[in-house]
Amino acid sequence: MKFVAITSCPTGIAHTYMAAEALQMAGEEMGIEIKVETQGSVGAENQLTDADIREARVVIIAADTNVSKERFAGKTIIEVGVKDAIKDAKGLIQKAIDIKIEDKKVSENISENKEEKKVEKKGIYKHLMTGVSYMIPFVAAGGILIALSFAFGIYAFL
């Protein structure tokens, strides 16, 4: 049994790769072959080929961003958030194993409803998370500078 997956978060830094690693590790533990494409801040890595998609039984999309589903026409798609893949990758793969191919229309309707709900939050959330990811180095550098000032006896608090 073979599955393919795509992971993507708004900033494309940490959660994208954490979800991919969780899915790969869960697949190895369960004896399932899974190839995961990450769509991070540096673009798509480990891209899925047409052969990978053709051989896959189910497509897992763990994303908080818009992922194009055009290349998965005719495939059963399970769509969840990135955090779901990080927290319960084994459960997600088990859900993919248990799914019946005939349930395709039901899963598409569920994913369409989820997508409609995400559209409202996506714009502001994406911008906030991008801002946070750019501020992390400044916060870390500030903390290091304060620690150095205390280490060398310079009283920064006076």
Question: Which residues does 3 contact at the CB level (< 8 Å), separation at least 6?
Answer: 27, 32, 33, 34, 35, 56, 57, 58, 59, 60, 93, 96
- Which of 5, 6, 9, 92 is an active site residue? 9
Which residue has 């500078």 as its token pair?
Answer: 145
The DSSP code for 13 is S
Task: Identify whether 9 is a catalytic site residue.
Answer: yes
């906030």: which residue's tokens? 128
User: What residues act catalytically?
Assistant: 9
